[in-house]
Amino acid sequence: MIHEAVQERYHNPSSYQFRRIASKTVVSFGPDDPENPVNWGKGKKFFILASGMMQVLNSTIGSSIPSGAIEYIAKDFNVTDQEKLVLPISLFLVGYVLGPLLYGPLSEQFGRRPPVVIGYVLFCIFSMACALAPSMPALLVFRLLNGMAAAAPIAVVSGVYADINNDPTKRGRTMAWYMACTAVGPIISPFMSGFISKVSWRWAFWLSLIIAGASFPCVVFFPETYAPVLLQRRARKLRKETGNKGIVAPLDLIPHDLRATVTVTLTRPLRMIIKEYMVSLTCFYLALAYAIFYLYFQAYPLIFEGIYGMSPGIAGLTYLPIAVGCFLACGIFIWYDGYLARAKARGAAWAQNEDYRRLPLACIGGPLYVVSLFWLGWTASPNIHWAVPMTSGVIFGLAYELIFMAMLNYLSDAYETFANSAQSASSCCRSLFGAVLPLAAKPMFNRVGIDWGCSIIAFISLGVSIIPFAFIYFGKQIRQNSKMCQHLQILKEEERRAWEEAAAYQSTVHPTADVEKGPSVSEDAVTRNNVDKETV
């Protein structure tokens, strides 16, 4: 029998909700529960939005901060091997490969706040270590560790935004601004480090630390947003208040032993890459686009410093049109969301297709990405004004953001509860490509020239741009054949059935109570979750 204090809250639709499972009482959020992150006020949600963007900005600024300081680092440490001079950025991106495999899955087990705080503290420590590095090998080691720490917000923040927005439209628009920050950070770093490194290249890393320090309040007051962890805290509090040891949260019913953590939680992103076609194809497409983005940090100095004779600081300013394109993409994304909503309201047949919610933007971005690469490659010439190749950055940034906004939101919409693992898989793959491809940039451009070098990657980009078109036509079949998508649908159905049972029980005991539909957890859902844990 349910404890008296528990029973009272169970029958209050505006407060706690409970579901009996064998000898356990499972707590969940009731309708309009103020502790549910999706019901938090606008002010609190805005703080989370701004805080997440600031943390991502710290991370992405750090990724390319050495680009304007490379010339000064080479002189100080007497490095003449050009390939070694790519490593301060590439090794940071290798850290981006390793970090999400840890932070993303663990955030789905222990909550969002711990990875964010730990990552922030380590990022500050290793940024300081980079500024104080006594040698080139030491700098490279610190950059690797700095990248691993900086991966925390990249892996977690998108999940945070999904936690506080259950409306796909609001979630998509929030993600649009978030992804603009991920692109703008690396773009503004080169000119900042290019100018400040005239004093000392170490000031580039001190600047990164100063910027990170400015976001300290955002991290200190960053709340936990992961509903299962919040319910776990609620259950712990109720056990203390009532003395009923049988009150648990859904997360308490899932094994958290070391074996389960290692074999299930931490391996989920890798298994999604291997077994989920939607994840693997998206990862490949985004990895190539991301790698080309970071290849630009090798190509632009060759073009604007080599061909046009600009200083590192001035050459860093040529990245700014890419930022303009990124923010234009945000406007297009928001316009399309409104256009789609109006089409759904009037009952347009095409708008009922789930794949049209995001993918058409990637279908536009893919070809534009190819155009921008050809534009840059064939206009970078002493006979053509520097403004012409620089302007290609507007189209490049626009296309890059449209691709990422569409494909990453598509993953979040498809995998919902496991969105962080899907995002971690994507982050891992694109960071791996981003770390490796730029190593080949200078040899490729030196061998075939800027024009044909850009053309090669443009032709490859053209080939993968068919992926969003394929998802539009075959996305439904892919989701139907996906074990993880099937598992999510089963859980949703079980939650709906459990709530109907709870509502029926409540209406029997309190016929006049006003019952609204809300989340709960059934015995079948928990049992199935435990049965499927090895594959999900």
Domain with residue 169: its CATH number is 1.20.1250.20
For 217-300, strand residue ranges (E) read 247-248
Are 153 and 282 within one domain?
Answer: yes
Tokens 């190539």, located at residue: 288
Residue pLDDT tens, the chain, 536 long: 233 333 333 334 334 555 555 567 777 777 778 888 988 988 999 999 989 889 989 899 998 899 888 889 999 999 888 778 888 988 998 888 777 777 777 787 788 999 999 999 999 999 999 999 999 999 999 999 999 999 888 888 878 888 888 777 777 778 778 888 888 888 888 888 889 988 999 999 999 999 999 889 888 899 999 888 888 888 888 888 888 888 887 777 766 655 655 556 667 777 788 778 788 888 899 989 988 988 888 889 899 989 999 988 888 899 999 999 998 998 898 888 888 888 888 888 777 777 777 889 999 999 999 999 999 999 999 999 999 999 999 999 999 999 988 888 787 777 766 666 777 777 778 878 887 888 888 889 988 999 999 999 999 999 999 999 998 888 777 777 777 666 666 666 655 665 566 556 555 655 444 443 434 444 333 333 433 444 45
Amino acid at 316: G
> In the chain, what's the furthest Cα-to-Cα distance?
85
Are 319 and 194 within one domain?
Answer: yes
Helix, strand, coil % in the chain, rounded to nearest 5: 80, 0, 20
Residue 242 and residue 9 in contact, taking contact as beta carbons nearer than 8 Å: no
pLDDT of residue 522: 40
Residue 242 inside a domain? The answer is: no
Closest CA to 145 of 76, 184, 92: 92
What one-character DSSP code corresponds to residue 30?
A: P
Residue 110 inside a domain? The answer is: yes
pLDDT of residue 262: 59
Between CA 148 and CA 96 the distance in angstroms is 6
Are 475 and 502 within one domain?
Answer: no
Are 111 and 45 within one domain?
Answer: yes
Between CA 295 and CA 64 the distance in angstroms is 11
CB atoms within 10 A of CB 335: 10
Between CA 158 and CA 418 the distance in angstroms is 12
Closest CA to 93 of 59, 68, 119, 55: 59
Residue 243 inside a domain? The answer is: no
Model confidence pTM above 0.85: no
Residue 206 inside a domain? The answer is: yes
Distances (CA, A) of 218 to 48, 146, 286, 404: 8, 20, 29, 26
Between CA 254 and CA 239 the distance in angstroms is 18
Residue 502 sits in which domain range? 1-29+495-515
Residue 246 inside a domain? The answer is: no
Two structure tokens written together for 256: 């958290």
Q: Residue 78 contacts by C-beta under 8 Å, 6 or more apart in sequence?
A: none
Residue 229 inside a domain? The answer is: no
Residue 120 and residue 212 in contact, taking contact as beta carbons nearer than 8 Å: yes
Between CA 206 and CA 223 the distance in angstroms is 28
End-to-end alpha carbon distance in the chain: 33
Closest CA to 399 of 356, 365, 354: 365
Are 401 and 503 within one domain?
Answer: no
**Could you give the number of structural domains in the chain?**
2
Are 9 and 118 within one domain?
Answer: no
Amino acid at 150: A
Distances (CA, A) of 407 to 84, 126, 172, 279, 485: 33, 32, 11, 10, 17
Residue 520 and residue 17 in contact, taking contact as beta carbons nearer than 8 Å: yes
Are 93 and 189 within one domain?
Answer: yes
Residue 236 inside a domain? The answer is: no
Are 25 and 41 within one domain?
Answer: no
- DSSP result, 337-398: HHHHHHHHHTT-TGGG-GGGTTHHHHHHHHHHHHHHHHHHHHH-STTS-THHHHHHHHHHHH
Distances (CA, A) of 21 to 24, 51, 245, 367: 5, 38, 14, 53
3-class DSSP assignment, residue 248: strand
Between CA 76 and CA 405 the distance in angstroms is 40
pLDDT of residue 143: 95
Amino acid at 354: E
Between CA 240 and CA 361 the distance in angstroms is 51
R_g (Cα) of the chain, nearest Å: 25
Residue 427 inside a domain? The answer is: yes
Residue 254 and residue 410 in contact, taking contact as beta carbons nearer than 8 Å: no
Residue 368 and residue 374 in contact, taking contact as beta carbons nearer than 8 Å: no
pLDDT of residue 500: 62
Are 11 and 56 within one domain?
Answer: no
Are 21 and 47 within one domain?
Answer: no
- DSSP result, 446-466: HHHHHHHHHHHHHHHHHHHTT
pLDDT of residue 209: 94
Residue 376 and residue 318 in contact, taking contact as beta carbons nearer than 8 Å: no
Are 93 and 197 within one domain?
Answer: yes
Are 41 and 20 within one domain?
Answer: no
To 5 degrees, how large is the angle CA 12–CA 16–CA 19?
100
Q: For residue 417, how far is the Cα from the chain centroid?
A: 14
